């Protein structure tokens, strides 16, 4: 079992930056692949970025490439999403999730994750 708590969301102007954190508790966080997802009002949840258990493999959605960076610190049981050059269309609830990778050091660009956090609101004003 893994419990996840996101923080760092808020209101920012277009062009600004935010750094989201996802703190994990429970067993063996360092063995889980992690992902960040977002869901805008009235839309389906989409994957934003993913990272393998070692941090050696990452994935980014096309819409955030070059602007967002996912990273993790397994010693602190935390995964981060650094978001730069934010746009109004980045406004959404951002959630992190954990997936058991079955010993593969891969980032998983899908919605099939095992544990989810509650989410944190990010609002980008124009």
The neighbour count for residue 65, using CB atoms within 10 Å, is: 10
pLDDT at residue 22 in the model: 98
Q: Under a CB-based contact definition with an 8 Å cutoff, are residues 117 and 52 in contact?
A: no
Q: What DSSP character marks residue 75?
A: T
pLDDT at residue 104 in the model: 86
Burial class (CB in 10 A: 0-12, 13-18, 19+), 96: buried
Half-sphere exposure of residue 42, counting CA atoms within 13 Å on the CB side? Answer: 1
Residues 37 and 24: their CA atoms lie apart, in Å, by 16
pLDDT at residue 52 in the model: 96
Write out the chain's pLDDT in tens, 126 residues: 899 999 999 999 999 999 999 999 977 888 999 999 999 999 999 999 999 999 999 999 999 999 999 999 999 999 999 999 999 999 999 999 999 988 889 999 999 999 999 999 999 999
Q: What is the 3-state secondary structure (H, E, C) of 14-52?
A: CCCCEEEEEEEEECCHHHCEEEEEEECCCCCCEEEEEEC
């Amino acid at each position: 079992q893994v419990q996840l708590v996101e923080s760092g969301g808020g209101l920012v102007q277009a062009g600004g930056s935010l750094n989201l954190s996802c703190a994990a508790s429970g067993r063996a966080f360092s063995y889980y692949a992690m992902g960040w997802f977002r869901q805008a009002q009235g839309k389906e949840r989409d994957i934003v970025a993913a990272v393998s258990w070692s941090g050696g493999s990452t994935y980014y959605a096309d819409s955030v490439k070059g602007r967002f960076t996912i990273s993790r610190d397994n010693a602190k049981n935390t995964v981060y999403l650094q978001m730069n050059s934010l746009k109004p269309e980045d406004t959404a609830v951002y959630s992190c999730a954990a997936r058991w990778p079955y010993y593969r050091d891969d980032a998983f660009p899908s919605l099939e994750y095992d544990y989810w956090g509650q989410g944190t609101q990010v609002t980008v004003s124009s």
